[in-house]
Chain A
Amino acid sequence: MSIHIPPYLEKGDAVGIVAPAGYMPVEKMQTCIETLDAWGYTVVMGATTHSQSENYFSGTDEERLADFQEMLDNKDIKAIICARGGYGMSRIIDRLNFKKFRKHPKWLVGYSDITVLHAHILTRFKIASLHAPMASAYNDGGAESAYIQSVRKALAGEPADYECAPHPMNRTGEAKGELVGGNLSLLVHLIGTPSDLAVKHKILFIEDVGEYLYTIDRMILQLKRAGKLDKLEGLIIGGFTDIKDTDRPFGKSVYELIREHVKEFDYPVCYQFPVSHERENYALKIGGHYKLDVTDEKVKLYES
């Protein structure tokens, strides 16, 4: 069954900003708002972006749910950008009503905790979404970067055409297929649930932040043991940043341990692709159709 691609945006379209997970002060969203405005969109701020919350979340479950639901149901809003991740999507995902969204799909933009949402709507409804930088990435000059510009292009319907430097551990080859992926911790957290992402015959990308090496090893093994690594078309390893180690060192780097777990397969693998919790984070359409070329000279990922 083919994937539904939400309509691309046109000048004047409304774009909503919400905070469905962790709290974020609205001042930190200012550059993002101005940038979207400069791109010709009308920005609609959700209630959770002006939260008075004093704890971790940007509002109670009910507040975050209501805000997101309103944005999903509002036909005039053509894309919803999540201001930040953190934690919280898992608490409301089963209470969101996607009836209107399914009739009128729109772009859902974010990453990290938002992986839950991406995986859910692709698995349940075959609707594509946008794995992309969130509000804080627009700050400190970020808005002009190729990564935020890739968000602009993706929303406007310009096909992606990314290139990055080869990594010595890359496994060369070509792959084409549907692109899926996101934050590794969240992808394994969804295994066994109704939002679990199917990856067979697809190109999978993963990234993560702040995890211990042994935890990453365990998560990669979980993917493998759940049958999610053996039938891929290609594997894209993004940034694994702020990695921690135990007092007695694990003894392998993230990329080394991943290479060990996928060595028996023959699909192309590339490391250090610019998808991460750092600035290097290209917009990727979850459910989009891509080609991946991994050669000794470079890595190319482009829509086809």
Chain B
Amino acid sequence: MNRKHFLNTTSLLLAGISASWAKSPHKDTVPDEELVFRQPPFLKAGDVIGITSPAGYTPAESILPASQLMQSWGFQIKVGNAIGKQDHSFGGTDEERLSDLQQMLDDPDIKTIMCARGGYGAIRLVDRLDWKAFRRKPKWLIGFSDITVLHAHIHRNCQIATLHSKMTNSFPDIWTQAEPIQVETINSIREALSGKKMTYEAPAAEGNRPGSAEGILIGGNLKTLETLAGSPSDIDTRNKILFVEDTGEYLYSIDRMFWNLKRSGKLDQLKGLIVGGFKIKPDDPGSEFGRSLSEIVLEKTAALKIPVAFDFPVGHQKNNFALKCGVRHRLTVLDSGSRLVET
């Protein structure tokens, strides 16, 4: 009952905000100082990282490379009860996944929660999670893909920063044999958690629209973001730098998702747009969509005077760096490439 009441109040407040916007066309920006997300404390040696599986099934042995490496960084690992549990494709029943994540959110000794993998399932839990303790004592929540649900929900409802990054299933089995890009991206998790100000660079890419912008960074998996539309976890993109990535989608489906972003007003007031990796499902023969990813994106953003960066190192790929969501960044797109700097 309380939750329902809270949601109703929130939506009334939000309705009030958009109504006052509509009335004052000149105030087309939210004062930046109002847009401050709290950052959880950074990690110190000896801090505990909890590993859980709110979405897909994770065999217990599969998290060993990640837990060993993070232990070598000086952190302790707490393996959640859901790890190794299986309910068909899920990492345990809804109740098992829920209680494991809830326990980690509530346990003051756990300073960071790393999701073991994505897949599908976070949406089945999100409305039943209690964020009270997390709000009081924020901690870094780590993951991507299906975990976009948790990022978006936390940003919308708690205004707390999160870490969009690789999960335990992306850690190489043998660290000493890892490719340089694996080492670099996984080290970026460590750097981000340790409080280092992050800088990311991407080479020149087809379609890049030059410009510079500053704002809070949010985003994640495009399909997952679309499925949050209209829900209490829906993202507020106003004055933000939005990043999106996806995998296994047809071009037509990506086009349709960008239309959803555009038609639901989520592009109008962006500061900048970052397009990460898109593993595109090839068109069926004879049904060629006839437009490239950059054409699809630029068509929807043509009227906006914002920088757009393509081929950014975030997504379902080895080249997937840890991004601090809910934290202010500056995006600079030049003909020579793009750069994202934490401010």
Contacts and interface: CB of A to CB of B under 8 A. Distances in A.
B259 A90 contact: yes
Interface in B247-276: 252-253, 255-257, 259-260, 263-266
A196 B252 contact: no
Contacts of B90: 251
B254 to A, nearest CB: 11
Interface residues of B, number: 35
A188 B227 contact: yes
Contacts of A189: 226, 256-257, 259-260
A11 interface: no
Find the residue from A54, A57, A189, A251 having the highest chain B CB count within 10 A: A189
B113 to A, nearest CB: 22
A2 interface: no
A230 to B, nearest CB: 11
A191 B263 contact: no
A146 B102 CA distance: 53
B263 A195 contact: yes
Contacts of B287: 22-23, 55-56
B32 interface: no
A220 to B, nearest CB: 10
Given A90-B256, A91-B259, A248-B57, A226 B88 contact: no
**Which secondary structure dominates chain A's binding surface?**
loop
Nearest to A88: B252
B340 to A, nearest CB: 27
Interface residues of A, number: 34
B124 interface: yes
Find the residue from A55, A219, A228 having the highest chain B CB count within 10 A: A55
Given A56-B289, A250-B89, A222 B231 contact: yes
B288 A94 contact: no
Contacts of B200: none
Contact of A222 (B87, B120, B229, B266): B229
B290 A55 contact: yes
A282 B277 CA distance: 42
Nearest to A214: B120
A54 B260 CA distance: 26
Interface in B127-150: 127
Contacts of A94: 263
Interface of A: 22-23, 54-57, 87, 90-91, 94, 188-196, 214, 217-219, 221-222, 225-228, 246, 248-251
Given A90-B256, A191-B260, 15 more contacts: A54-B288, A56-B289, A87-B255, A90-B259, A94-B263, A192-B229, A196-B230, A214-B120, A218-B123, A222-B123, A222-B227, A225-B127, A226-B230, A227-B230, A249-B89
13 contacts: A56-B288, A87-B255, A90-B256, A94-B263, A189-B226, A189-B260, A191-B229, A191-B264, A195-B263, A217-B120, A217-B124, A225-B123, A248-B89
